[in-house]
Amino acid sequence: MDIDGIDPRGIPRHVACVMDGNGRWAARQGLPRTDGHAAGEEALLDTVEGALDLGITWLTVYAFSTENWRRPADEVRYLMQFNESLLTRRRDELHERGVRMRFLGRRDWRVPERVLQRMEESIALTANNKVMTLNIAFNYGGRAEIVDAVKAIVSSGVPAERVDERMIRRHLYDPDMPDPDLMVRTSGEYRISNYLLWELAYSELVFTDVLWPDFRREDLFEAVREYQRRERRFGGVESQA
Ligand code: IPE
Ligand code: IPE
Ligand code: MG
């Protein structure tokens, strides 16, 4: 495995991926879009392995957005069933690798009960794992997350003058989650698509033309090399040599 050129002291703590391009991958081979989603499973598992190779401790992947309900009913149904089966088939091996699984998103009535059950089981099974946290953003929207945080704050009766950034952060879906250092989006689209709007404020963004089903750990390594060439300033000035 080639992780040449990666500085082990500069590994991003948290990498967030937008797994995009499944439909186009399938269309290029004359297959139905759903075959592209199925082919994305191997990409996900290889990316998890790559993250483990590098010592990344948080990996968040965008699996289904609050806007993806707009897709044809057949595709939505497929995605629900596919994600349920993926959790069932893969959670033991993720557990063995020391991966703690969590989910970000609204657990609302639109998510089938069986999917919610698999999520709860996966969380319970892997709760004490320490090697890496795999967050699956499912029925996730960045705006919805902020709305949900504001609702929770207002309903707790906090006076307006006590609301600050720390308080909002504490009411996001996973208050323990560090902000992503690096966000990688596949398929040549240069947008955020309502992903982690609060958390990505100072993340480095890397875009690749690779379609998600073709993405492998080597592509993750390449994104990390690109990340390590960037200089993060967080609004300050260039660090002095
Ligand atoms: C990403 O691939 C997977 C989901 C959004 C669930 P797409 O299905 O968006 O694939 P493209 O962008 O249409 O190629
Ligand atoms: C973002 O991809 C959501 C996921 C990868 C789950 P989309 O394909 O839904 O985003 P747009 O529609 O191209 O912005
Ligand atoms: Mg897409």
Catalytic residue among 68, 148, 174, 214: 68
Give, for ligand 1, the residue of 74, 82, 136, 187 to mutate: max count of ligand atoms closer than 8 Å to Cβ. Answer: 187
The yes-or-no answer on residue 20 being catalytic is yes
Angstrom distance (rounded) from CA 72 to CA 69: 8
What percent of the chain shows pLDDT beyond 70? 98
Angstrom distance (rounded) from CA 145 to CA 123: 20
Q: Whose CA is nearest to atom 13 of ligand 1?
A: 23
Q: Is the Cβ atom of 191 under 6 angstroms away from ligand 2? A: yes
Give the residues of the chain that fall short of pLDDT 50. Answer: 1
What Rg value do the Cα atoms of the chain yield, rounded?
18
**Are 179 and 15 spatial neighbours (Cβ–Cβ below 8 Å)?**
no
Structure tokens at 51: 């993250």
Give, for ligand 1, the residue of 17, 18, 20 to mutate: max count of ligand atoms closer than 8 Å to Cβ. Answer: 20
The yes-or-no answer on residue 148 being catalytic is no
For residue 193, give the ligand 2 atom closest to its CA: 14
Report all structural domains of the chain as residue ranges with CATH numbers, in order of start: 10-228 (3.40.1180.10)
pTM assigned to the model = 0.97
pLDDT for res 11: 98
Other CB atoms within 10 Å distance of the CB of residue 9 = 6
pLDDT for res 188: 98
pLDDT for res 101: 98
Angstrom distance (rounded) from CA 106 to CA 110: 9
In degrees rounded to 5, what are phi and psi of residue 141? -140, 135
pLDDT for res 1: 45
